[in-house]
């Protein structure tokens, strides 16, 4: 009842502010339920850029709100929890990236969208977990520098053996700590289940997957697959959306290890306070935004 009352208050405030509320797939279920749109970070930002809202309320982590500001510079972007950062995004800076690429003259830099605006701005092209392989393939070069996720880089390299994928040594702590043993235990407990693994996981975990998919691809697969049971190897927040997408199917997660503490910092109370005060605000300097937008647009043009 308390959540229902808060949700009603939030929706009323959002209408008054002409605000659109976005929630990432890894947010708490009650935060997902109050949002206008739920999805992955880039998909949500593109959705927001096309709305008539004056305000974007982004329930996610900081780089996601930055991406919304990059794609929708005419809108006010706020996020409910200023402390919600991304450890992987913090593992590389624009200064570090510039020094790294100076060691590899002429080699293009492909950067995962799970990165800061300044790092995107220092890159040649961005990618998502869904299209990383296609982005690298489209460059048609013998070598790329891939930042910041070494595990996603490993997945790309496994799919494109003709390309030397030089990886930055970054990782998502939530996905990287998953062990092959934990996945095999889940598979033994649910022998009929299809195993879906996010490519931010370690190579030995990815090797156990029936399919290696982004969160948006997992949602589509769950709805379309003939399987009625799944082991889901990504942040446990996705299970809420999966159960909505395929309510008659069963989903199992490695719950003790698959929780992102940064994503869970956002609560309904914080969403309410954010919509009411229009704070904390997220901005990107104009020069950084223009260069970051160019890297994102190159990705979008690839498809």
Please indicate, yes or no, whether residues 72 and 104 belong to a single structural domain of this protein. Answer: no
Distance CA 54, CA 77 (A): 9
Full domain range(s) for residue 30: 2-85+263-283
Q: What is the pLDDT of residues 119-167, one digit of tens each?
A: 999 999 999 999 999 999 999 999 999 999 999 999 999 999 999 999 9
Instruction: Tell whether 249 is covered by a domain.
Output: yes
Instruction: Tell whether 60 is covered by a domain.
Output: yes
Confidence of residue 1 (pLDDT cuts 50, 70, 90): low
Distance CA 293, CA 120 (A): 8
CATH of residue 218's domain is 3.40.50.10800
Residue 255 above 80 pLDDT? no
Please indicate, yes or no, whether residues 107 and 162 belong to a single structural domain of this protein. Answer: yes
Provide mean pLDDT across the span 65-77: 94
Distance CA 92, CA 37 (A): 29
The total of structural domains in the chain comes to 3
Q: What percent of the chain has pLDDT over 70?
A: 99
Instruction: Tell whether 37 is covered by a domain.
Output: yes
The closest alpha carbon to 230, from 274, 268, 192, belongs to 192
Please tell me the predicted confidence (pLDDT) of residue 83.
Answer: 95
Distance CA 37, CA 41 (A): 11
Please indicate, yes or no, whether residues 75 and 94 belong to a single structural domain of this protein. Answer: no
Please indicate, yes or no, whether residues 203 and 269 belong to a single structural domain of this protein. Answer: no
Please indicate, yes or no, whether residues 205 and 187 belong to a single structural domain of this protein. Answer: yes
Provide mean pLDDT across the span 229-257: 93
Provide mean pLDDT across the span 263-267: 97
Residue 18 above 90 pLDDT? yes
Please indicate, yes or no, whether residues 165 and 295 belong to a single structural domain of this protein. Answer: yes
Please indicate, yes or no, whether residues 198 and 223 belong to a single structural domain of this protein. Answer: yes
Please indicate, yes or no, whether residues 163 and 293 belong to a single structural domain of this protein. Answer: yes
Instruction: Tell whether 42 is covered by a domain.
Output: yes
User: Based on the number of CB atoms within 10 Å of its own CB, is 66 exposed (0-12), middle (13-18) or buried (19 or more)?
Assistant: buried
Confidence of residue 303 (pLDDT cuts 50, 70, 90): low
Instruction: Tell whether 108 is covered by a domain.
Output: yes
Instruction: Tell whether 258 is covered by a domain.
Output: no
Please indicate, yes or no, whether residues 294 and 168 belong to a single structural domain of this protein. Answer: yes
Average pLDDT, the chain: 95
Instruction: Tell whether 126 is covered by a domain.
Output: yes
Instruction: Tell whether 228 is covered by a domain.
Output: yes
Residue scoring higher pLDDT (66 or 4):
66
CB atoms within 10 A of CB 21: 25
Distance CA 176, CA 226 (A): 29
The answer to whether 143 touches 157, Cβ cutoff 8 Å, is no
Please indicate, yes or no, whether residues 16 and 80 belong to a single structural domain of this protein. Answer: yes
Please indicate, yes or no, whether residues 188 and 240 belong to a single structural domain of this protein. Answer: yes
Please indicate, yes or no, whether residues 15 and 67 belong to a single structural domain of this protein. Answer: yes
């Amino acid at each position: 009842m308390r959540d229902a009352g808060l949700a009603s208050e939030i929706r009323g405030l959002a209408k008054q502010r002409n605000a659109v509320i976005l929630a990432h797939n890894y947010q708490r279920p009650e935060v997902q339920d109050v949002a206008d749109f739920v999805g992955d970070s880039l998909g949500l930002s593109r959705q927001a850029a096309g709305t008539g809202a004056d305000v974007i309320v982004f329930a996610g982590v900081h780089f996601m709100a930055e991406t919304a500001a990059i794609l929708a510079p005419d809108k006010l972007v706020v996020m409910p929890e200023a402390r919600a950062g991304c450890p992987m995004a913090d593992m590389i800076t624009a200064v570090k990236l510039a020094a790294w690429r100076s060691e590899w003259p002429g080699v293009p830099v492909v950067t995962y969208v799970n990165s800061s605006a300044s790092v995107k701005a220092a890159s040649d092209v961005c990618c998502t977990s869904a299209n990383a392989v296609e982005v690298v393939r489209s460059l048609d070069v013998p070598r790329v520098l891939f930042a910041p996720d070494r595990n996603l880089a490993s997945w790309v390299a496994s799919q494109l053996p003709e390309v030397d994928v030089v990886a930055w040594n970054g990782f998502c702590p939530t996905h990287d700590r998953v062990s092959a043993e934990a996945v095999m235990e889940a598979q033994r407990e649910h022998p009929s289940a299809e195993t879906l693994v996010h490519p931010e996981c370690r190579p030995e975990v990815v090797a156990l997957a029936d399919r290696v998919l982004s969160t948006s691809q997992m949602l589509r697969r769950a709805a379309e697959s003939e399987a009625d049971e799944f082991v889901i190897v990504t942040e446990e927040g996705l299970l809420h959306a999966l159960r909505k997408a395929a309510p008659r199917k069963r989903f199992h997660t490695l719950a003790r290890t698959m929780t992102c503490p940064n994503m869970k910092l956002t609560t309904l109370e914080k969403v309410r306070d954010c919509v009411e005060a229009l704070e904390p605000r997220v901005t990107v300097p104009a020069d950084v935004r223009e260069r970051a937008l160019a890297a994102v647009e190159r990705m979008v043009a690839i498809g």
